[in-house]
Amino acid sequence: MRNIVLLMLCFLQQFLFARELLVETEQFQNKGGWIVESQFINQMGSPYLLAHGLGRPVADAKTKITIEKGRYHVWVRTKDWAPFPQGPGRFRVSVGGYVLPVEFGCSGTVGWHWEYGGVINIIEKEVELLLHDLTGFEGRCDAIFFSENRNVCLPTDLSEWKKYRKKFWPSADCTVAEGMFDFIVVGGGVAGICAAVQAARLGIKVALINNRPVLGGNNSSEYRIPMDGDVFRNKYPTLGRIVREVDGNKLDIKDSISYRYRDEWKKRVVQNERNIHLFENMHVVGAVVKNGKICSIEALNLNTLKMHSFQARFFADCTGDADLGRLAGADCRYGRECRSETGERWAPERADELVMGSSCHWYAQLSKDISEFQEQPWMLLFSDEYHFDLFQSRFNWETGFNSFHTVNDAEEIRDHNFRAIYGNWAYLKTHKSEEYGKYKLAYLANFAGKRESYRLMGDVVLCQQDIEQKVEYPDAIVTTTWGIDLHYPDDVNLRHFPDEGFLSYAIHPLKQKDVYTFPYRCLYSRNIDNLFMAGRNISVTHVALGAIRVQRCTGMMGEVVGLAAFICCKNDCTPRNIYTHYWDEMEKMIKVEFK
């Protein structure tokens, strides 16, 4: 009896203390042709590796891992991104030269999940871990888990998974304190750059936190959205000078893409400011708020997975999705307001969650040889009756609207763009080979450029009547020249693809002819006392957003917010106090050229 008890205790000890190892793929030493995908952290918890090969398998990703010798069960966290009926993102995993007997990424299971890969005997303490792409069609791998225990229960719920992962991070309980700043700007798009540069040139200490390795947001080589709007018709002629300095519309096709969008130049402008501390690949995940003010924020380093904390007197949310504002509990809106609330003639009778969509740019190039691009069941299937004779994308290739939530379903929106673009291209290559046979799909952005998501509410909520009736606010400051430009689902497209639409039409009657200067009070939060905002997340209705969302306009918002942050620091006041007590100082400063 005693021996039986001892055996049971030994078994229980082995079960409870089984050796385990979690490998995060974004930390692979050699990523080969796989790319680090980090734009969906809020949705699925972490960056992951993506095999974005336009239908051509990418080079293997490899890394060395150190693990105790023994017999391990292996799981892979992945996603079948197009299970219709079985997705295309197939890949293999090998450990120490042994290829696991499972093709991952094609299980038919919806959403991120763990797939069991089998058991393996590890006979060396250091082995090579390898991801081998099989299709070039967006295979994705987030993590690989080793355990001696076959019955381990790996969480699929995002909140539980975040907690579970922490025990494998050596730095999970060690937050790096980055210190105190006068002004923290979250988001390194055009608005964020201009806000940081303006404030720094006025002498205050600035942190610019960006969750990408490239500055510019939509106007970068990653998203490739040209700047629109005008900076030469402002109420205040000096406004827009930083926008002009960083402007990313170099159109010489002979130059590299990064040069055309001035990636390096934008970074140089920021790095030349001695008062700016640039934090790249940092995603803000938490905010501490006391008495209606943000005291500190936390950001996850996407390369090291360490947490970093930042303190500041004032903050600016330039994220586009209002990430910081929502974390801090700022009042916000999503979707369309009803007509009875706003009085807008373009507002619907009932409020809803329809927003403008997101786009992935693509183009094809002529080559010497004929190539194939086969139609597959997971693609959207086109016909002789309905297809698009295009060699490149147009503005109206757009997914989202009210079929998807532009933030919560961001990955699904991007993936649906893939299905539509690949499907139409496969139709052209298969059924119109005489015209398209020698063309190859040369570029397809894995980044979806958003037009609309959450908006943070300020003391003034700009609406359609303000713009159309040219309402003159006493604090009118940023001039938009775009007119109200709104996009809605294309009815013909929806008839052919019910609930799967990917095309829009635009309502834009006064494009580039409607000039209006809107108020400063749209640029700070009405309930978080030290929070500014600049970009498409400012205080406007859905309809009014159509006039202010283009990037030269958002850049001028950033310049104003940077100036306002300086005045707040100087006078120890709130953003609201600038309008109530320091507007004369604001006007005086904005009328002069800063050096």
pLDDT in tens, 389-422: 999 998 899 999 988 999 999 999 999 999 999 9
Which has the minimum average pLDDT: 168-172, 302-306, 343-347? 168-172
Q: Are strands 176-186 and 206-209 parallel, antiparallel or unpaired?
A: parallel
Model confidence band, residue 257 (pLDDT cutoffs 50, 70, 90): low
Q: In b/e form, how buried is each residue of 268-290, taking b as 16+ CB within 10 angstroms?
A: ebbeebebbbbbbbbbbbebebe
Residue 5 or residue 202, greater confidence: 202
- Model confidence at 219: pLDDT above 90: no
Averaged over 173-193, what is the pLDDT?
94
Residue 256: pLDDT band with limits 50, 70, 90: low
Res. 226: pLDDT tops 90: no
Q: What is the pLDDT of residue 8?
A: 43
Asked whether residue 541 carries a pLDDT value surpassing 90, the answer given is yes
Q: 76-90, 144-158, 216-230, 264-278: lowest mean pLDDT where?
A: 216-230
Task: Give the pLDDT confidence score for residue 248 in this predicted structure.
Answer: 59
Please state the pTM of the whole predicted model: 0.92
Q: How far, in Å, CA of 49 to CA of 35, rounded?
A: 5
Of the chain, the percentage scoring pLDDT greater than 90 comes to: 79
* pLDDT (0 to 100) of residue 14: 38
**Long-range contacts, stretch 3-8, CB < 8 angstroms, 24+ apart:** none
Of 533 and 173, the structure prediction assigns the larger pLDDT to 533
Total count of residues recorded for the chain = 595
Q: Which pLDDT score is estimated for 559?
A: 97
**Band of residue 7 on the pLDDT scale cut at 50, 70, 90:** very low
| Residues near 363 by beta carbon (within 8 Å), at least 6 away in sequence | 391, 392, 393, 442, 443
pLDDT at 585 over 50: yes
pLDDT of residue 172: 55
Contacts of 226 (CB under 8 A, 6+ apart): 219, 248, 249
Instruction: Tell me what pLDDT residue 60 has.
Output: 98
pLDDT-derived band at 571 (thresholds 50, 70, 90) equals: very high
Residue 185 pLDDT:
98
- Do residues 531 and 186 touch, judged by C-beta distance below 8 A? no
What is the pLDDT at residue 6?
A: 41
pLDDT over 70 (residue 286):
yes
pLDDT at position 595 is 43
Residue 221 has a pLDDT of: 84
Residue 546 has pLDDT above 60, yes or no: yes
CA 283, 288, 292, 294 torsion-angle sign? negative
Distance between CA 274 and CA 272 in Å, rounded? Answer: 6
Phi/psi of residue 539, nearest 5 degrees: -80, 90
Between CA 291 and CA 327 the distance in angstroms is 15
Tens-digit pLDDT profile for residues 476-522: 999 999 989 999 999 999 999 998 999 999 987 665 568 999 999 99
